[in-house]
Amino acid sequence: MVSAPAAVVIGGGWAGLAAAVAATRAGWRVTLLEASRHWGGRARRLTLPDGRGGRLPLDNGQHILIGACGATLGLLEALGVPWQRHLQRLPLALPRPDGTGLILPGWATRMPAPLALAATLLTARGWGWGERAAALGRAARWMAAGFTCPPQATVADLCTGLPARVVDELIEPLAVAALNTAPATACGTTFLRVLRDALRAPAPAGLAPSDLLLPRGDLGALLPDAATAWLAARGAELRLGARALALARRGGRWHVHLADGAALAAEAVILATPAPEAARLVSTWAGDPACPAPEATAVRGWAAQAKALAHVPIATIYARAPRGWRWRWPQPMLALPNEARPAPAQFVFHRGENTAAADGALLAAVVSSPDPSWDGDREGLAAAVTRQLAAALACPGVQALATLVERRATFACTPGLRRPAAHIAAGLLAAGDYVAGPYPATLEGAVRSGLAAVEVLRGDPLA
């Protein structure tokens, strides 16, 4: 009896979890390695002080999905996760605390996404008819062009001639939420691709592709817990605290050398680590005397591409409102007027179902790509955000609980960016939201990359 081929997946974030599940389903014997002591990567559970003397399961950063995230929702369904209970569905809206901004009118909730967007723009609160007409006209122009633009165009270029209010209250929040990059440098092509999918991509029954899906609890309960339990039940080997040091190939098999001195042999390896770590690992193979010269050159080229990616941070400030203060908006997410220094957060989320005034609401404020002047000054950033929340939400006395900064949260999604391919060498693949693909650095991009790596692997005759 011929045993199933072995695959080692290095990295237990969402890309690695997706790859491990897909490889297991495809009949591979999977070993999943994670250097840290937790699963989930940059979208994982943390236990943080709750401001009341206890601790809360929260996340290392606030994340959202949309109805067009078909790969992620499909993976959750395959794992038996009742995502409808774990995710709160909201029609796409960008309301501001003062009641202005974009809110889908109730009479348009059952409309197809393009018509719902038109209804939202036509009824945008605080906008004049000229601003509404300009936004609708530009959206129609993008649709007529098939959501394409010149490859070097930025999001700011796409907005040339639009009223400032349309850019400030529609385009900039969408670009920051989707690409984590300011419009002046964000890739127009990727922005339009995300917008196209949000309007036209298929979505599960009951969802519009543009619907926002906000986690009701911590992210660990959404994918990592379910994926690791599913993998363990099917015989996959799961190792936390297992750091890979080097790669080698001998006799047609890959060997993964670990920090504890052990080595794993497999027909295939999927690198689902951050780009710099993947570059380091493949460079160990390129520097191995056994690596053929042409392959070493190609692998070094791949590593150079991965190392060249610029990364930007995202900060999440968890805060507790004072007892007696209530979250009074119907949506749990608000867009915030922002400035780099005095008011740096772009969004604030109300965390949890309980709005009882006696408990004090738990808030999560998000600062995408903080101004470089905040680098290393978490206390100052938290103080600025709490002042911003106090003013914008009429919430004096709001208190920061924790400031989390993911320094390599996303790659800078700029025009003409060259992203590394999934295929590195025979039987050696990469997965991660930075790998070449249509999506920016999102959970959906990570999951898609993990699934795609296994598809490439299945067609690799040497794996």
Percent of the chain with pLDDT over 70: 97
Residue type, 305: Q
The model's pLDDT over 367-422, given as tens digits with 9 standing for 90+, comes to: 998 999 999 999 999 999 999 999 999 999 999 999 999 988 899 999 999 999 99
Rounded mean pLDDT of 8-14? 98
With 90 as the cut, is the pLDDT of residue 350 above it? yes
What pLDDT was estimated at residue 70?
94
Least confident piece of the model among 226-235, 244-253, 310-319, 355-364: 355-364
With 60 as the cut, is the pLDDT of residue 323 above it? yes
Mean pLDDT of the chain: 92
With 90 as the cut, is the pLDDT of residue 212 above it? yes
Strands 237-240 and 29-34 turn out to be parallel
Torsion sign over Cα 454, 423, 300, 417? negative
Q: What is the pTM assigned to this prediction?
A: 0.94
What pLDDT was estimated at residue 1?
46
CB atoms within 10 A of CB 114: 15
CB-based contact 404:60 (threshold 8 Å): yes
What pLDDT was estimated at residue 190?
95
With 90 as the cut, is the pLDDT of residue 340 above it? no
CB-based contact 245:263 (threshold 8 Å): no
Rounded mean pLDDT of 22-42? 96
Helix (H) or strand (E) holding 238, with range, is strand 237-240
CB-based contact 454:19 (threshold 8 Å): yes
What pLDDT was estimated at residue 462?
53
Under the banding of pLDDT at 50, 70 and 90, the label for residue 305 is very high
Under the banding of pLDDT at 50, 70 and 90, the label for residue 41 is very high
Helix (H/G/I), strand (E/B), else coil: 159: coil
CB atoms within 10 A of CB 306: 27
Q: Which of the 8 DSSP states describes residue 69?
A: -
Q: Which domains does the chain have, with CATH numbers?
A: 6-43+220-310+415-458 (3.50.50.60), 92-210 (no CATH), 311-411 (3.90.660.20)
Closest of 372, 366, 373 to residue 403, by C-alpha? 366
Quote the CA–CA distance of 412 and 185 in Å, as a whole number: 8
Strands 29-34 and 6-10 turn out to be parallel
Quote the CA–CA distance of 128 and 54 in Å, as a whole number: 48
CB-based contact 209:66 (threshold 8 Å): yes
Under the banding of pLDDT at 50, 70 and 90, the label for residue 2 is low
What pLDDT was estimated at residue 354?
43
User: 212: buried, middle or exposed (CB in 10 Å: 19+, 13-18, 0-12)?
Assistant: buried
Give me the torsion for CA of 208, 214, 218, 223, rounded to 10°: 20
Under the banding of pLDDT at 50, 70 and 90, the label for residue 235 is very high
Helix (H) or strand (E) holding 401, with range, is strand 399-411
With 50 as the cut, is the pLDDT of residue 356 above it? no
With 70 as the cut, is the pLDDT of residue 461 above it? no
Residue type, 113: A
Least confident piece of the model among 38-42, 107-111, 268-272, 450-454: 107-111
**How far from each other are the two terminal CA atoms of the chain, in whole angstroms?**
19
Nearest 5°: the CA angle 18, 21, 24 is 145
